[in-house]
Chain A
Amino acid sequence: MKIAEIQIPGMLSRKEADLRTAFLNSVHLIPGGDKIKACIQCGTCTGSCPLSYLMDITPRELVALFRAGDIDSIIKSRTIWVCASCYSCQTRCPQSIKVTDIIYTLKRMAMNRKVYPKKFPVHSLSDSFIKSMNAFGRLNEPRLMVYYFIKTGIWKGFSFLPLALRLMKKGRLELTAPKIKDINGFRKIIKKAQEFDMPLEIAARAYREEAVGYKAVG
């Protein structure tokens, strides 16, 4: 495995070392993920990012922090929540570093370790999404939005109503949830897959929950 080739900074706290192992294990499963060590700090990623102006750590800094041995700061940054997954950085990186996929990895690590402010919308949306999907195998948008607004604040839901009505008028709102035929089989697949994801989550829990120093965006 190529991970051994990546220089591991000398003095790491135990927490940081854990994070680093988890991160590297995940990154090496990304096709071309090990290229992260080839970053030349050119800043093309940051320059291409339509949202870097809202980030506290830019994509280039993110790779730099990883190399300096500070993943802890990255997963506490707002960067991973602001990224819209547009792949501009990844496409343009002259060293073929999978920046967007790496941000996914970090997002996953942060969520597993519950590092986000309470009621953080990205996390709430994901929770609602997974709930809706595990139940039916397909997604029902109105239901997703209802779950989501229950979590993030009903008042937000009201501001969404006019749009919902306009969609309804055009026959674009499907209120009954679609369901796949083999939903039992589908749940079996998920159950089995969760067994594989579980060890990662247990490892993740060792990480202490800490307050994040910024307010939820959105």
Chain B
Amino acid sequence: MKYSYYPGCSLHSVHKGYDISCRSVLNCLGCELKELEDWNCCGATIYMSIKRTTSLAIATRNLAIAEKEGLDVVTPCSSCYTILNKAHKYVKNSEELLDKVNACLSEVGLEYNCTVRVRHPLDVLINDIGLEIVKLHLKKPLNGLKIANYYGCQIVRPDKGFDDRENPRSMENLFETIGAEEVYFPNKLRCCGGMLMTTYEDAALKLSEEILDSAEENGADCIATTCPLCQMNLEAYQQKINKKFGTNHHIPILFFTQILGVALGLKEEELGLEKNFYRCEKLDEIYKGSLVNESL
């Protein structure tokens, strides 16, 4: 299986751990990732909220480049995932927009014909690779690890994608396959505050606090996330949240690929675990434990 890989800006800086672990895990499971040639920032929700044609044109530049390769685009960043999908949908829906965008792209000899599929690694893991294959590669079952599976807003909403929009089960199924336990976690789709953390901190801190609280109350050892922004808000702002609300949260926030990687027997540096602020002790124990499936 071969894919175009679109890391997005944050995976090249603040969230290197996600980038590294995502590549390692998918490679380990037999996928070949080819980084999209000279990709540019998708524009995120911010650009979208200011300039319509411009934001669509820059997002579509990436899709047009990918179209030439003829591969599905895989992007781990939830925000990039939504924006690229949205750009695709907008220009596909409206000839007026498509013409405008193509007029812009023709300046550099590109054209978009609306044939690219934008995928999330979680989708690829469940629907392309399949849990059977994941099981075959399992080296360190995550027995006893209790995970709060946090999806955030952008990968299951707004449109029907690869999972249910009210109660997605992809991560739960994935982790169950590799031996981990899910905890009851009603906040799994609740908003963490997103960009409000920069523009309206009080509101965002409260939203994030509710998520941390719900996970800890239900006995989770860690929160698994799919979104760089959620990871940032929940992890890096934990101190601030504790200060503001007088709480004592101390819960590691890991990317789902990092947890999966440990189960696949990958090394710490292949998963960027050292980049997280909080270590998950349970996961570290499993990491140091012996392999069960030596034959692989």
The answer to whether A and B interact is yes
Residues of A within 8 A of B (CB): 26, 29-31, 50-51, 54, 81-82, 84-88, 90-91, 98, 100-101, 104, 107-108, 111-112, 121-122, 125-126, 129-130, 133, 137-141, 148, 163, 166-167, 170-174, 178, 180-182, 185-186, 188-194, 196-197, 200, 217-218
**Contact pattern, B 38-82, Cβ under 8 Å of A = 1, otherwise 0:** 111101111111111110111001000000000000000000000
Are B105 and A54 closer than 8 Å at their CB atoms?
no
Are B52 and A189 closer than 8 Å at their CB atoms?
no
Are B191 and A121 closer than 8 Å at their CB atoms?
no
Residues of B within 8 A of A (CB): 9-10, 12-16, 38-41, 43-54, 56-58, 61, 89-90, 93-94, 96-97, 100-101, 103-105, 107-108, 153-154, 157-158, 165-166, 189-191, 193-196, 198-204, 207, 236-237, 274-277
Given known pairs A172-B15, A197-B53, the reply for A167 and B236 (CB within 8 Å) is yes
Are B158 and A171 closer than 8 Å at their CB atoms?
no
Q: Which residues of A contact B48 (CB under 8 A)?
A: 104
Are B203 and A107 closer than 8 Å at their CB atoms?
no
Interface SS majority for chain A? helix
Are B158 and A190 closer than 8 Å at their CB atoms?
no
Q: Which residues of B contact A137 (CB under 8 A)?
A: 40-41
Q: Which residues of B contact A104 (CB under 8 A)?
A: 48-49
Are B47 and A26 closer than 8 Å at their CB atoms?
no
Assembled-state Cα–Cα distance A31/B96 (Å): 12
Are B108 and A54 closer than 8 Å at their CB atoms?
no
Given known pairs A26-B52, A181-B38, A189-B105, the reply for A91 and B47 (CB within 8 Å) is no
Q: Which residue of A lies closest to B276 (CB)?
A: A170
Interface pairs (18), CB distance under 8 Å: A29-B94, A81-B199, A81-B200, A84-B204, A91-B165, A108-B51, A112-B50, A121-B198, A126-B49, A133-B47, A133-B58, A172-B14, A178-B13, A182-B38, A185-B107, A189-B61, A190-B104, A192-B103
Are A185 and B10 closer than 8 Å at their CB atoms?
no
Are A138 and B52 closer than 8 Å at their CB atoms?
no
Looking at the assembled complex, report how far the CB atom of A25 sits from the nearest CB atom of chain B, in whole angstroms: 10
Q: Which residue of B lies closest to A163 (CB)?
A: B236
Q: Which residue of A lies closest to B86 (CB)?
A: A101
- Out of A129, A141, A188, A217, which one reaches B13, CB within 8 Å? A141
Add 17 more A-B contacts to A51-B207, A122-B199, A189-B108 (CB < 8 A). Answer: A26-B52, A51-B191, A84-B193, A85-B195, A87-B157, A91-B158, A108-B51, A125-B46, A137-B41, A139-B9, A139-B44, A148-B198, A171-B275, A174-B14, A186-B40, A186-B58, A192-B103
- Out of A50, A98, A122, which one reaches B191, CB within 8 Å? A50
Q: Which residues of A contact B100 (CB under 8 A)?
A: 193, 196
Assembled-state Cα–Cα distance A196/B97 (Å): 10
Are A54 and B43 closer than 8 Å at their CB atoms?
no
Looking at the assembled complex, report how far the CB atom of A197 sits from the nearest CB atom of chain B, in whole angstroms: 5
Q: Which residues of A contact B157 (CB under 8 A)?
A: 86-88, 90-91
Q: Which residue of B lies closest to A142 (CB)?
A: B13
Assembled-state Cα–Cα distance A84/B154 (Å): 11
